[in-house]
Amino acid sequence: MLATTENINYDEIVKKSNYKFNLPIEELINNSKATQREKRNKKQVIPRPPNAYMIYRRNKAESPDIKSSGQSSSSKSILIADMWKNETDKNKQLFFILSMLAEKNCPKDLKYVQKKPSNTSKSSK
């Protein structure tokens, strides 16, 4: 879907697009500091950069139509997922480029830390 040449300036592609974003680009591609997960996180774990769909979802969730609809979060997610499925390839490519920019801005020492399994299994007597 995306060209893989090194000399493409992705910032320029995003700036030249006529897509109407509901949030600033920097806010879309950077992980939020205000989420419950971020507040609970005691360790300084570096979160993964958001993928194309998560950036799209964050953008659509801030649109006035979705925000003021009064629907539950799960209903909004279903609606946005349907919108993503029906989105044009050109617009999807724009969000894939944004995910590449998010990955580029991510710290290089990103490591996946696997959670230890909890000992909640029931022992038989």
pLDDT tens-place values along the chain, 125 residues long: 444 444 467 777 887 788 888 888 888 888 766 666 666 665 666 677 889 999 999 999 888 888 888 888 899 999 999 999 999 999 999 999 999 888 887 766 656 666 677 676 555 54
DSSP class of 26? H
Please give the torsion angle defined by the CA atoms of residues 100, 101, 107 and 109, in that order, rounded to the nearest 10 degrees. Answer: 20
What pTM does this model have?
0.70
Residue spans of the domains in the chain: they are: 49-107
Q: How many Å apart are CA 48 and CA 54, to the nearest integer? A: 11
Task: HSE, CB side, 13 Å, CA atoms: give it for residue 88.
Answer: 4
